[in-house]
Amino acid sequence: MLRALRRCAVLIAVLASPLAGRAVPITDGTALFQYDSFTPLSFTTFTDTASNHVFEARWMFESGGTVFEPGTPDSESYVGNQMVLTWNGLNGGEVDATLTITLTDQAGPNTANLVQVLEVTNTSGGAINLDLVHYADFDVDGTSGNDVATLVGSTIQVDDLSTLRYAGYGADALQVTAFSTLRDAVLAGGYDLDNSGLPFGPGDFTGGFEWQNVALADGASQTFTAEFALNVPLLAVPEPGTALLLGLGLLGLALGHRRRR
């Protein structure tokens, strides 16, 4: 009897805690996004009435040779179609981070946009230089071995039966590999994305965008934006960093386009 009561009390405590290593889902219409793990902030569900299309979405920092990731947030807010997660003093007090994710359902099933904005603030007391990678493992239509990816402008388009578009706004580089080459390379440290890997597949797509050597004065903040668009256009046309245009061989095209105007 006592043991049963104790078990019951533990169960109630787990149900009552939003911090059991798992975020609360946000929804808009029939669309849903959720982080399924906080340690690391990684595994996800992104769906609109059909399959989960995204296995992992994560942010990886590198500063002074140290790779670090956000884990369990210091605060969490989930209101309607938006979640806000904050972390204080990452990497031994070097930076604070606030992640704001907004889910927008679009007309019809299996269509939605997911905008992910990370604000990073230097709290170190001195100047710092950061690399920041947004990484995604898409398993479009819930299957991992048959996805095909192509470069569209400075964005990545991944196709199975559905189309998932991926942008890193203003990023300096991108890269695509089969699972889990890119993730493991970034986590090992000292790695820069090199614009390779497209076209890709069919295979187990993973990809990412990197903002490189971002200089932040003490107290300064900068925002970094990534977006997923499921069977709809991206919400904005990304203006890539010059380095990404150079890396993709698109700088001449972009300048020529501008001149013609």
Question: Closest approach of Cβ 32 to Ca ion, in Å?
Answer: 11
- Minimum CB distance to Ca ion smaller for 35 or for 46: 46
Quote the tokens at residue 171: 């990023």
Of the candidates 139, 253, 244, 128, which has an alpha carbon nearest to the alpha carbon of residue 202? Answer: 139
Chain-centre distance of CA 230, in angstroms? Answer: 14
Of the candidates 112, 247, 260, 93, which has an alpha carbon nearest to the alpha carbon of residue 175? Answer: 247
Question: Closest approach of Cβ 139 to Ca ion, in Å?
Answer: 5
- Residue type for position 59: W
| CB-count burial class (<10 Å; 0-12, 13-18, 19+) for 147 | buried
- Residue type for position 85: L
- Minimum CB distance to Ca ion smaller for 190 or for 252: 190
Residue 133 DSSP class: E
| CB-count burial class (<10 Å; 0-12, 13-18, 19+) for 250 | middle
Question: Closest approach of Cβ 230 to Ca ion, in Å?
Answer: 8
- Minimum CB distance to Ca ion smaller for 94 or for 204: 204
- Minimum CB distance to Ca ion smaller for 5 or for 188: 188
- Which residues here bind Ca ion, judged by CB under 5 A? 48, 105-106, 111, 131, 137, 139-141, 143-144, 146-147, 160, 192, 204-205
Question: Closest approach of Cβ 114 to Ca ion, in Å?
Answer: 12
- Minimum CB distance to Ca ion smaller for 41 or for 159: 159
Question: Closest approach of Cβ 173 to Ca ion, in Å?
Answer: 8
If you write DSSP's letter for every residue of 37-59 in order, what string do you get? -BTTB-BEEEEESS---EEEEEE
